Amino acid sequence: MSRLSRNSIDASRHKALIIDILGISDPSPKNIFILLCFFVFLGWFGDTCLMLLQAWDENIALPGWKVILIGVIPFLSLLFWNVYRWQQAEGKVMDFRAKVENVQPHKAVILFLSGISDENFKLASAGDMEVFNKQHFQWSQCKRGLEVHSDTLERVWVVCSKESAAQFDAFKSLFTMIHPDVEFEKLADDGVDFSDVKTMVERIEALFHRLPKGISETDTIIDITGGTKTASIAGMLVTLVSKKRDIQYVLVKDDQSYEVKTYGYDIKGFVTSLEANK
């Protein structure tokens, strides 16, 4: 059973801490100069420690105080300065910017499939395309989410609920009529409990570790339009593991037009709480 390889939020925070400590978030001449000095004196510190060990081992006179002064004190001073910057950064909050963009075509889509009524199921099983014109037909959102990828789409992995698992064959037959060259695959034969976020995350994460040849993480996007709110949470958690993974959502407007958007974030560094509220 595959698990998330790391706690991505902690990893993002540590990355932002390092950015702040090294001065990358504020690349002023002072920060760059101090950073260069730190690494220069790091080399001298190592040489000085080696000289001291050799002098102690061979029972000879210790190097002059000037050597120790040059090799040790500047390094320790800069080390304490970095520790101080770390403590200062710990008191800050992570500064990031949300990104909302139009979805670019992908080769593969992972989507959540909700169950439909018996009436609509009969129409879908018969291949009646008029079912997409019915109001509140849940699979219409799946159709919209796949249309944007129609020129490049090769694979669709469907995460079925316990209710929709028995309806997958009808879904596959109906959508194969729209995308005849696309392979549709059910991720779990008996469906997944959409309230069980842990299991959904494990199933989707396992899928990312066995992607077929020719399809990479960047070629695959998770559609969180269908399913439940907990299913959307599972999809979001899986994308936090790697910046190469994306999610999409079909946004329907009041005039019934729609846009397919992808969401992400960029880490900027660390700022104080007051700066974050501006």
Task: Look at residue 23 and tell me whether its pLDDT is greater than 60.
Answer: no
Judge if 59 and 107 occupy the same domain: no
Separation of alpha carbons 24 and 89, rounded Å: 13
- Among 91, 107, 139, the domain-final residue is 91
- Among 37, 70, 91, the domain-final residue is 91
Task: For residue 232, give the CATH number of its domain.
Answer: 3.40.50.10770
Q: Provide φ and ψ at 6, rounded to 5°.
A: -165, 165
Strands (E) in the chain, as ranges, are 93-102, 108-113, 155-160, 183-186, 220-223, 246-252, 258-271
Judge if 134 and 27 occupy the same domain: no
What pTM value is reported for the model?
A: 0.67
Task: Look at residue 225 and tell me whether its pLDDT is greater than 50.
Answer: yes
Judge if 255 and 117 occupy the same domain: yes
Could you tell me the pLDDT band of residue 77, with boundaries at 50, 70 and 90? confident
**pLDDT mean over 163-190:** 94
Judge if 52 and 172 occupy the same domain: no
Judge if 211 and 253 occupy the same domain: yes
pLDDT value of residue 28: 58
79 contacts 127 by C-beta, under 8 angstroms: no
Separation of alpha carbons 19 and 271, rounded Å: 12
Judge if 115 and 67 occupy the same domain: no
DSSP string, 16-40: HHHHHHTTTTS--HHHHHHHHHHHH
Question: CB neighbours (10 Å) of residue 71?
Answer: 21
Judge if 180 and 82 occupy the same domain: no
**pLDDT mean over 23-29:** 54
Look at the chain and report how many structural domains it folds into: 2
Which domain range does residue 73 map to? 8-91
Buried-exposed string 140-179: b where 16+ CB fall within 10 A, e elsewhere? bbbbbbbebbeeebbbbbbbbbeebbebbebbbebbeeeb
120 contacts 142 by C-beta, under 8 angstroms: no
227 contacts 112 by C-beta, under 8 angstroms: yes
| Domain-embedded: residue 3 | no
263 contacts 223 by C-beta, under 8 angstroms: no
pLDDT value of residue 153: 97
The top-scoring range by mean pLDDT among 3-12, 88-97, 181-190 is 181-190
| Domain-embedded: residue 277 | no
Task: Look at residue 21 and tell me whether its pLDDT is greater than 60.
Answer: no
Judge if 238 and 160 occupy the same domain: yes
Separation of alpha carbons 90 and 17, rounded Å: 8
Q: Which residue has the higher pLDDT, 255 or 158?
A: 158
pLDDT value of residue 261: 94
- Among 57, 91, 125, the domain-final residue is 91
Judge if 106 and 182 occupy the same domain: yes
Kindly report, residue by residue over 41-76, the tens digit of the pLDDT: 777 677 777 766 776 666 666 556 656 666 677 777
